[in-house]
């Protein structure tokens, strides 16, 4: 066994596993539980996760001991359980590895996972280096006693803490190989500000056997880290990123990068010099399976190029890579273990949704390239929606294509958006676009409500994160935010493919058209563009912008999204007064050109101000007509006639 472990560090490509916490959470373990305790209390669940990663092709699996140190366990009242949890974690992983070796004669290895202590060291904190080293030594000694093959000191946020962890490993387990992995920010520096190159050089000087990067802000940043590490060391390099950039919502990170995307980066990591690849937060066996396939395809391509005189790799270098490669696992391996998390991991056969043009009338218009018109109708605060139904009837008579129905905008308590949407469609006959937010629903509620909505015939969804409760009249109300808008698009896309959030067939496609929001006027346009790209990647089919008054901002945004452009519907708001314009600018932080403020200020009375607001909106509509595929016009204060004036529609214009 020792000789086999040595070979892991001598060349070739090694495939590691993915996230443990993500999988356990998917099995129903609450986020505030001690996950290390599960090695003892729910060992079958942990064993199942290990088995699924091995079946996906992983050659190195990590023990479920990331937080099994005295400082983290003390928070759960489990200080005395350090040795027990680490021994149990090592034993579970060892059982799974030994079983797969015996059944398939395929080498696999156990890495003892050691994460950061969760406390600050001097001078930023109260814990001294000796205390930190002792805590690491206590955990590592138990892992070594439990029979791990090597150690992964991972998600190290500071060079000082990584140093104490490595020194502890050398002190209590000198025969074990040790890989030290840092997590880095978008600047590709460690979170304490140290350059990743300097941190790696320090770890190599202290005797690390491999170095690299895990977690961080997604595969792109980790790729940059690998390139910088490659320039300063000849040690094996490990790349184990999160499944994309985490979306932070109410303190919870959501990861929704597709397996195919992670697979593409597996190839890039190896090309850049990484020897070990795998995944961190948000990755599942499905991601690891995709990475395995990508690596196998790359090896086959390189072999073909070598045999035909291609210049992808020198033949001697290629021979070394192929000889050391351990990613050629049979596709016919068993697919599951019957565990509670199996349905989350393995994508089953779904249903291909109908083309966009067949799902709804608005979908047909979008797919056909026709310029579409939408008007927003806000649900009432009570049970009487007579005014809203009358407004919808008026708009239908004028030939508006669809009605947008917000979901409790600005966190206000109103009639549910699905209720009003259904009544409009049934009683008026005009199609609706339902705003659907993540604020008030966990992922189970999201799925249940979407299934119900689809069964009622509501087919158009605008996926939104939602306004936080603190914006509304009930600031102490509890928000959920299990996912954000990007995650919601992913859920809707799965339902459209006939799969629930556990990847189980639901009997058919929900047939939704999927819209997302965009805000060209935000101050951080780079972040907005990144999020828009994430929405498109998740499956968004068209976008509706927030009201835009500065057309230059819209032009800039449209240029920025050219590489992942989907049809864009521009939001237009007819101002009703100078006060309305000032509120939009100062309270809602909407970019408002001085020229518009001056025009509204020049209006001599209320009627003139309304007329001027309509004139401004009509000018904006004409200006954007050639650049977008439609407009959504707001009806401020329920004045639906203003929307028809902006659109220039006449009765019977259907």
Query: Could you tell me the two tokens for 9?
Result: 């560090």
pLDDT at 504: 79
* CATH code at position 39: 3.20.20.330
pLDDT at 125: 64
Scanning 105-187, the segments in alpha helix (DSSP H) are 129-146, 159-172
Q: Is residue 270 part of a domain?
A: yes
Interatomic CA distance for residues 415 and 383, integer angstroms: 7
Interatomic CA distance for residues 618 and 220, integer angstroms: 43
11-20, 46-55, 213-222: range with lowest mean pLDDT: 213-222
pLDDT of residue 321 exceeding 50, the answer is no
Report residue 223's pLDDT band, with 50, 70 and 90 as the boundaries. Answer: very high
For the chain, what is the domain count? Answer: 2
Evaluate whether 540 touches 513 at the Cβ level (below 8 Å). Answer: no
Name which residue leads in pLDDT, 408 or 294: 294
| Nearest C-alpha neighbor of 71 from the set 117, 114, 17 | 117
pLDDT of residue 328 exceeding 50, the answer is no
Task: Tell which of 333, 353, 386 closes a domain.
Answer: 333
pLDDT at 57: 93
pLDDT at 104: 66
* CATH code at position 501: 3.20.20.220
Could you give the C-alpha distances from 13 to 7, 53, 311, 556, in angstroms and in order? 11, 17, 20, 43
Q: Is residue 590 part of a domain?
A: no
Residue numbers of the domain that contains 463: 361-575+629-647
What digits encode the pLDDT tens for the residues 530-542?
999 999 998 999 9
pLDDT at 469: 77
Report residue 304's pLDDT band, with 50, 70 and 90 as the boundaries. Answer: low
pLDDT at 314: 36
Identify the DSSP state of 180: E
Are 365 and 327 found together in one domain?
Answer: no
Q: Is residue 608 part of a domain?
A: no
* Cα atoms in the Cβ-side hemisphere of radius 13 Å centred on 96: 30
The dihedral through the CA atoms of 315, 321, 325, 328 has a sign that is negative
Report residue 653's pLDDT band, with 50, 70 and 90 as the boundaries. Answer: low
Q: What percent of the chain has pLDDT over 70?
A: 88
| Nearest C-alpha neighbor of 372 from the set 571, 630, 625, 632 | 630
Q: Is residue 463 part of a domain?
A: yes
Are 143 and 180 found together in one domain?
Answer: yes
3-state secondary structure of 562: helix
pLDDT of residue 333 exceeding 70, the answer is no
Are 242 and 385 found together in one domain?
Answer: no
Cβ-proximal residues to 622 (8 Å cutoff; 6+ apart), any chain: none
125-134, 316-325, 354-363: range with lowest mean pLDDT: 316-325
Q: Is residue 444 part of a domain?
A: yes
Q: If you average pLDDT over every residue of the chain, what do you get?
A: 87
Are 323 and 428 found together in one domain?
Answer: no
Q: Cα dihedral angle (16, 19, 24, 30), rounded to 10 degrees? A: 160
| Nearest C-alpha neighbor of 581 from the set 594, 571, 570 | 594
Q: Is residue 124 part of a domain?
A: yes
Q: Is residue 191 part of a domain?
A: yes
Are 392 and 320 found together in one domain?
Answer: no
Query: Could you tell me the two tokens for 190?
Result: 């460690």
Cβ-proximal residues to 309 (8 Å cutoff; 6+ apart), any chain: none
pLDDT of residue 341 exceeding 90, the answer is no
pLDDT of residue 587 exceeding 70, the answer is no
Task: Tell which of 333, 352, 373 closes a domain.
Answer: 333
* Average of per-residue pLDDT across 308-318: 39
Are 316 and 378 found together in one domain?
Answer: no
Evaluate whether 487 touches 493 at the Cβ level (below 8 Å). Answer: no
Task: Tell which of 314, 333, 352 closes a domain.
Answer: 333
Report residue 473's pLDDT band, with 50, 70 and 90 as the boundaries. Answer: low
User: Which of 108-112, 116-120, 278-282 reaches the highest mean pLDDT?
Assistant: 108-112
pLDDT at 590: 84
Could you give the C-alpha distances from 164 to 50, 116, 131, 160, 239, in angstroms and in order? 29, 10, 9, 7, 22
Are 321 and 421 found together in one domain?
Answer: no
* Average of per-residue pLDDT across 468-490: 79
Are 294 and 407 found together in one domain?
Answer: no
What digits encode the pLDDT tens for the residues 246-300?
554 444 555 567 888 888 889 999 999 999 999 998 899 999 999 999 998 888 7
Q: Is residue 459 part of a domain?
A: yes
Report residue 401's pLDDT band, with 50, 70 and 90 as the boundaries. Answer: very high
* Average of per-residue pLDDT across 156-168: 94
Report residue 218's pLDDT band, with 50, 70 and 90 as the boundaries. Answer: confident
pLDDT at 310: 46
Report residue 105's pLDDT band, with 50, 70 and 90 as the boundaries. Answer: low
Interatomic CA distance for residues 286 and 50, integer angstroms: 13
* Average of per-residue pLDDT across 376-383: 92
Are 263 and 379 found together in one domain?
Answer: no
Q: Which backbone phi and psi does 553 adopt, to 5 degrees?
A: -65, -40
Are 394 and 251 found together in one domain?
Answer: no
Are 401 and 288 found together in one domain?
Answer: no
Report residue 112's pLDDT band, with 50, 70 and 90 as the boundaries. Answer: very high
Are 562 and 642 found together in one domain?
Answer: yes
């Amino acid at each position: 066994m020792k000789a086999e472990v040595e070979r892991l560090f001598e060349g070739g490509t090694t495939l590691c596993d993915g996230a443990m916490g993500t999988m356990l959470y998917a099995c129903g373990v609450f986020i505030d539980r001690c996950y290390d305790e599960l090695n003892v209390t729910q060992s079958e669940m942990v064993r199942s996760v290990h088995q699924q990663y091995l079946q996906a092709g992983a050659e190195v699996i990590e023990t479920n001991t990331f937080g099994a140190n005295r400082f983290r366990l003390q928070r759960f009242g489990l200080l005395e359980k350090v040795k027990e949890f680490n021994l149990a974690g090592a034993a579970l992983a060892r059982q799974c590895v030994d079983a797969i070796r015996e059944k398939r004669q395929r080498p696999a290895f156990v890495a003892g996972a050691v994460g950061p202590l969760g406390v600050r060291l001097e001078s930023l904190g109260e814990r001294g280096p000796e205390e930190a080293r002792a805590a690491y030594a206590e955990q590592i000694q138990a892992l070594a006693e439990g029979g791990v093959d090597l150690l992964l000191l991972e998600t190290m946020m500071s060079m000082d803490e990584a140093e104490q962890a490595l020194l502890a490993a050398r002190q209590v387990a000198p025969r074990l190989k040790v890989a030290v992995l840092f997590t880095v920010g978008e600047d590709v520096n460690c979170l304490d500000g140290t350059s990743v190159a300097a941190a790696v050089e320090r770890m190599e000087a202290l005797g690390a056997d491999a170095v690299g990067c895990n977690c961080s802000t997604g595969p792109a940043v980790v790729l940059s880290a690998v390139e910088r590490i490659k320039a300063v060391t000849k040690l094996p390099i490990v790349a184990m990123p999160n499944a994309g950039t985490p979306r932070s919502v109410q303190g919870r990170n959501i990861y929704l990068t597709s397996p195919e995307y992670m697979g593409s980066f597996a190839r890039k990591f190896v090309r850049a010099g990484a020897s070990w690849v795998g995944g961190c937060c948000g990755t599942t066996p499905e991601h690891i399976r995709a990475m395995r396939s990508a690596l196998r395809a790359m090896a086959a391509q390189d072999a073909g190029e070598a045999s035909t005189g291609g210049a992808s790799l020198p033949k001697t270098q290629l021979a070394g890579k192929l000889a050391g490669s351990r990613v050629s696992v049979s596709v016919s391996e068993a697919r599951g273990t019957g565990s509670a998390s199996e349905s989350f991991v393995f994508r089953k056969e779904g249903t291909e949704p109908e083309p966009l043009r067949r799902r709804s009338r608005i979908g047909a218009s979008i797919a056909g390239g026709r310029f579409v018109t939408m008007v927003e109708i806000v649900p009432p605060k009570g049970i009487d929606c007579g005014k809203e139904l009358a407004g919808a009837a008026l708009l239908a008579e004028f030939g508006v294509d669809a009605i947008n129905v917000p979901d409790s905008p600005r966190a206000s308590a109103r009639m549910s958006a699905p209720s009003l949407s259904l009544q409009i469609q049934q009683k008026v006959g005009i199609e609706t676009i339902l705003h659907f937010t993540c604020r008030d629903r966990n992922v189970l509620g999201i799925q249940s409500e979407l299934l119900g909505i689809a069964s009622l015939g509501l087919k158009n969804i605008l996926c939104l994160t939602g306004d936080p409760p603190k914006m509304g009249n009930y600031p102490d109300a509890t928000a959920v935010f299990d996912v954000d808008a990007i995650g919601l698009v992913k859920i809707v896309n799965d339902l459209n493919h006939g799969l629930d959030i556990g990847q189980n067939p639901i009997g058919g496609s929900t047939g939704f058209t999927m819209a997302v929001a965009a805000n060209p006027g935000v101050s951080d346009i780079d972040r907005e563009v990144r999020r828009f790209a994430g929405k498109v990647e998740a499956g968004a089919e068209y976008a509706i912008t927030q009201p835009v008054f500065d057309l230059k901002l819209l032009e800039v945004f449209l240029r920025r999204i050219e590489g992942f452009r989907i049809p864009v519907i521009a939001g237009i708001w007819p101002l009703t007064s100078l006060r309305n314009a000032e509120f939009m600018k100062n309270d809602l932080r909407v970019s408002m050109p001085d020229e518009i403020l001056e025009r509204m200020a020049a209006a001599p009375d209320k009627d003139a101000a309304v007329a001027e607001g309509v004139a401004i909106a009509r000018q904006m509509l004409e200006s954007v007509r050639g650049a977008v595929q439609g407009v959504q016009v707001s009806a401020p204060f329920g004045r639906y006639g203003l929307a028809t004036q902006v659109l220039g529609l006449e009765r019977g214009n259907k």
